A and B are shown apart, each in its own frame.
Chain A
Amino acid sequence: MRTASLAALGRPALLCALGFAVLALILFAMSALRRRVPAGRAGGRALGASAGFTVLAAASLLSALFAHDFSLAYVANYSSRSLAGPYTVSALWGGMEGSLLFWTVLLTVFATIAVYRHPNPDSPAVTWAGAVLAGIAIFFLLLLAFPADPFARLADVPTDGSGLNPLLQSPGMLIHPPLLYTGFVGFSIPFAFAMGALVSGRTETPWFTSTRRWTLFSWSALSIGIVLGGAWAYTELGWGGYWAWDPVENASFMPWLTATAYLHSVVIQEKRRMLRIWNVSLILATYALAVFGTFLTRSGILSSIHTFTEGSTGVWFLPFLAAMLLGGLAIIALRYDRLRSENRLDALVSRESAFLANNVLFVAAAFTVLWGTVYPIVAEVTTGVRLSVGPAFFNAVFVPLGLAILALTGIGPLVSWRRMSKGRLSRLVRPPVVAGIAVAAGLWLAGMRSAGVVIAFALCGFVAVAIAGEFIRGGRVYRASGDSWPAALAHTLMRNRRRYGGYVVHLGIVLIVIGFAGAAGKVERNAFLEPGSSMKVGAYTLTYEGREQSSTPEKQINDATVAVSRGGEPVGTLHPQSNFHFAQQQPQSEVAIRTTPVEDLYVVVTQFDPDGAAAIRAFVNPLTWWIWAGAVVMAAGMSVILSGGTPHGATAGATGRVREPVAAAG
């Protein structure tokens, strides 16, 4: 009875949240239009109340999930009595309605914090930003109130639920979706503040500085979320890979690309007061792509294993997306004159030019991914044939762009702001270029003949040495003051966390690219094995020893024992499984992986014969370990950046002055 009353709180709480969001919008607009500060402050409080009621609604749904209140359609569809506790939490975002509720919780809470914690909350720019955020919240709360009601009740209450999809019952699913949503939703803050600055006419407002942490935080969450998604695919889906260029994967990757471009180009705005229109456009594109991705996953317009059930919710996103894009572009056009750059490029060889080239490549890459993602729709409309676009297309068009971006990752730090003499540039570039050539030559001599792989590894060497050089040049300043090398390097990192933390992130990217390049040496073998028989994959011999069966309340477990040897020497035993989940009446493979930094041996049983013979897919995936190691290094770099204070250049930009550590200049 007590749990039923908690669930009963959900819908009224949502309606209250909607009411307060509308009130916040009215108060913010009143404050901005009539210059009334108290109304703006009241708007902030109304936004906070909306956040409180949205959290209450989410808590109600969570309590209903834990209480197995199957009178709620959502609880019946996405949980069951046998579902383990932690996965009951992930059921909150495992279905469409719950995921939208979770999204709205993040949105309203982030919006409240951003408005309240702003150093100048009464300024018109912030008031307009509050209005934009309230408007976005209203859209999502309307979705929850009507087409995607998570508190809809069933006429016939089942005794048990359908349970959560077995693929989602993975530790990665406890973290991956919240991180992705944090990234997507977090971009609404810089977007709203950019729009707020433009609508209020305060184009000189450093909206990018006040939202820098939000942007970095959102980008970091999205980056880690994407990598965790890859790790989930690798360990759960059983096809031996981590990235399939699936529309939903692309949906998370596109805003990441434009946000990465923005993170670089906004530095030029801070330091040189250039690229203002470009930066506003990039943040608009980033948020629009985040919403577009949400539309893709909820409309059923594209087929993907990641999409939610097809429904009417997706249609609601189109007018929202159109209004956001048209409104954003109209405001940018309206303020075009005020957004023009105060400074121009001083020289072709400068960090500004390198960042500009980096931006062009990132945007071209985002466009390429967007085009490949929507091409099946275009093809169906124009030719009537439903095509799909798979990894072969994306790899062909994206990999060269990715390699060019990687090259710029190494070049950018070597070039000074404004201008640089050719002599100094050639001195700085020489060691990384020599390293790159040495790596390429070494690989060629070792027998590697794939041009793409050789170029990728050579660029990794180039970038790694360029980054090391930056640390060494920075460390020399502290060495001159008597520090030991480790202390000098740590000092360098902590003194300018944004810059050197960024280099650590770049180093993480290098490690990830090493992992990607290793995939070129992937070997796959398939065999149907009787107990006692063997197959070869790469240098390994796999001997299928037999199957053991057992049961739990959720599933029947079929556990294969596979003995692994290499060059005649036993190296271990793997236990891939092919299980049957009772609630979903669905088979599910559990992968067995032997991981080393050199290569992964990846074994999956796709099916068992009644007599115990097993269909086995085995892969040798070289260097995959480096992808996860790179992600850890990236996360460390992000932590360093986020732990830093206001950037040096943020205030210097007003005079076009550039403050860089002496070490960087000499």
Chain B
Amino acid sequence: MKRRGLGRILATIMLVAAWLLLATAGVALAATPQDLATDISTEIASPYCPGVTLHDCPSAAATDLRARITAWAEDGWGRARIMAKLSSEFGPGIRAVPPPGGSGTLAWLLPAGAVIAGAVVVAVLVPRWVRKNHDQAPTGATDRPLSPDERRRVEGELDAFRGAVRGDQWSQ
């Protein structure tokens, strides 16, 4: 029993680890400077359109800022340097992704918490409910063979279904 419990915990840890792996896999590596510029423009809020990332902002000023970021990327600037430059120019609020530490920790931890809580519910509580049900059920209640009366009822239901299949005229 202990081994099964340990197995469930390990399975839960593996599921959460897979989730975290996939979460980080979402941040793709940019192939070209233009791709890097595009990636960055999806990770920062537009200073010119409220509530919209720079990538999605249609204003002319946003077009200019996207062009500046592309130029920096083409000059060999990395992601960190470009983000630092943007933060110094527009303030920390320009990041459209909560920072991984400090004030942003809670933003990342709570969804993970929800996933872990859900995984715990499924991995721990459900087997308990099943066990409880088995403890409460009369011995052999679910596995005993059908009585003649039950067998007759099952056969009757099956006959009715087969008849319905044969006589069905496309109506519900």
A contact set with B: CB distance below 8 Å? 237-239, 241, 244, 246-247, 302-305, 307, 344-348, 353, 356-357, 360-361, 363-364, 367-368, 371-372, 375, 378-379, 382-383, 385-393, 395-397, 399-401, 403-404, 419, 450-452, 455, 477-478, 481, 491, 494-495, 497, 520, 524-526, 589, 606-607, 615, 643-645, 661-662
Residues of B within 8 A of A615 (CB): 63
Cβ B172 vs Cβ A364 within 8 A? no
B80 within 8 A of A: no
Question: Is there an interface contact between B25 and A388, defined as CB atoms closer than 8 Å?
Answer: no
Cross-chain contact B51 with A305 (CB below 8 angstroms):
yes
The residues of A that contact B11 with a CB separation of less than 8 Å are none
Whether the Cβ atoms of A399 and B26 lie closer than 8 Å is yes
List residues of chain B with CB within 8 A of the CB of A379.
98, 103-104, 107
Q: Does B101 have its Cβ within 8 Å of any Cβ on chain A?
A: no
Whether B126 and A348, one on each chain, are in contact in the complex, defined by CB atoms closer than 8 angstroms, is yes
Contacting residue for A364 out of B104, B118, B158, CB 8 A: B118
Complex CA gap A512/B110 in Å reads: 28
**CB-nearest residue of chain B to A350:** B130
Q: Given A347, A367, A400, A495, which contacts B22 in the complex, CB threshold below 8 Å?
A: A400
B122 adjacent to A606 (CB under 8 Å): no
Contact A368 B111 (CB under 8 A): yes
B122 and A392 within 8 A (CB): no
Given A388-B51, A452-B22, CB of A357 within 8 Å of CB of B122 = yes
Identify 10 new A-B residue pairs, CB closer than 8 A, beyond the known A344-B129, A385-B93: A348-B127, A363-B118, A367-B110, A371-B111, A387-B45, A389-B97, A396-B23, A396-B24, A451-B22, A491-B170
Which of A345, A378, A387, A452 sits near B93, CB closer than 8 Å?
A387
A393 neighbours in B (Cβ, 8 Å): 96-98, 107
CB of B10 within 8 Å of the partner chain = no
Task: Kindly provide the distance from the CB of B81 to the nearest chain A CB, expressed in whole angstroms.
Answer: 18
Say how far B24's CB is from chain A's closest CB, in angstroms. 7
Q: Is the pair B56, A367 in contact by a Cβ cutoff of 8 Å?
A: no
Complex partner residue of A399 from B22, B58, B110, CB under 8 angstroms: B22
> Which residues of chain B from 36 to 53 have a CB within 8 Å of any chain A CB?
38, 42-45, 49-53
When A and B form their complex, what is the total count of cross-chain residue pairs whose Cβ atoms lie within 8 Å? 184
Instruction: Please tell me if the beta carbons of B51 and A451 are within 8 angstroms of each other in the complex.
Output: no
Residues of B within 8 A of A (CB): 18-28, 34-35, 38, 42-45, 49-53, 55-58, 60, 63, 66-67, 70, 91-93, 95-98, 103-104, 106-108, 110-112, 114-115, 117-119, 121-122, 126-127, 129-130, 132-133, 136, 142, 158, 161-162, 165-166, 168, 170, 172
Of all chain A residues, the one with the shortest Cβ separation from B126 is A353
Q: A239-B58, A397-B23 are in contact. Are A390 and B43 (CB under 8 A)?
A: yes
A303 touches B51 (CB 8 A): yes
- Contact between chains at A302 and B27 (CB < 8 Å): no
Q: Which residues of B contact A383 (CB under 8 A)?
A: 103
- Are A451 and B170 touching (Cβ within 8 A)? no
Q: Is the CB of A495 within 8 A of B103?
A: no
| With known contacts A497-B172, A525-B34, A607-B63, A371–B107 Cβ distance under 8 A | yes
The answer to whether residues A344 and B132 also contact, given A661-B161, A662-B161 and a CB cut-off of 8 A, is yes
Q: A237, A495, A645: which contacts B168 (Cβ < 8 A)?
A: A495
Residues of chain A within 8 A of B44, CB atoms compared? 390
Residues of chain A within 8 A of B98, CB atoms compared: 375, 379, 387, 389, 393
Q: B56 to A388, Cβ gap below 8 A? A: no
List of A residues within 8 angstroms of B20 by Cβ: 400
Docked-complex contact B38 and A524, CB < 8 angstroms: yes
The chain A residue sitting closest to B67, CB to CB, is A526
Query: Which residues of the other chain, A, contact B42 by a CB distance below 8 angstroms?
Result: 390-392
> Among the interface residues A348, A397, A450, which one has the most CB atoms of the partner chain B within 10 A?
A397
* Complex Cα–Cα for A256 and B95 (A): 28
> How far, in Å, is A9 (CB) from chain B's closest CB?
38
CB B116 to nearest CB in A, in angstroms, measures: 9
Task: Assess A526 versus B34: contact at CB under 8 Å? Given A371-B111, A372-B107, A379-B98.
Answer: yes
Query: In the complex, which of the residues A345, A361, A382, A606 contacts B58, with contact meaning CB atoms closer than 8 Å?
Result: A606
Residues on B with beta carbons closer than 8 Å to the beta carbon of A404:
19
Q: Is the CB of B58 within 8 A of A237?
A: yes
User: Do the beta carbons of A346 and B133 come within 8 Å of each other?
Assistant: yes
Contact A419 B28 (CB under 8 A): no
Note all chain B residues with C-beta closer than 8 A to A396: 23-24, 26-27
User: A389: which B residues are within 8 A, CB to CB?
Assistant: 96-98, 107
If the complex has contacts A389-B97, A526-B70, are A303 and B50 also in contact, measured as CB distance less than 8 A?
yes
B24 / chain A contacts, CB cutoff of 8 Å: 396
Expressed in whole angstroms, the minimum distance between the Cβ of A482 and any Cβ of chain B is 9
Taking the closest CB of chain A, its distance from the CB of B43, in whole angstroms, is 5
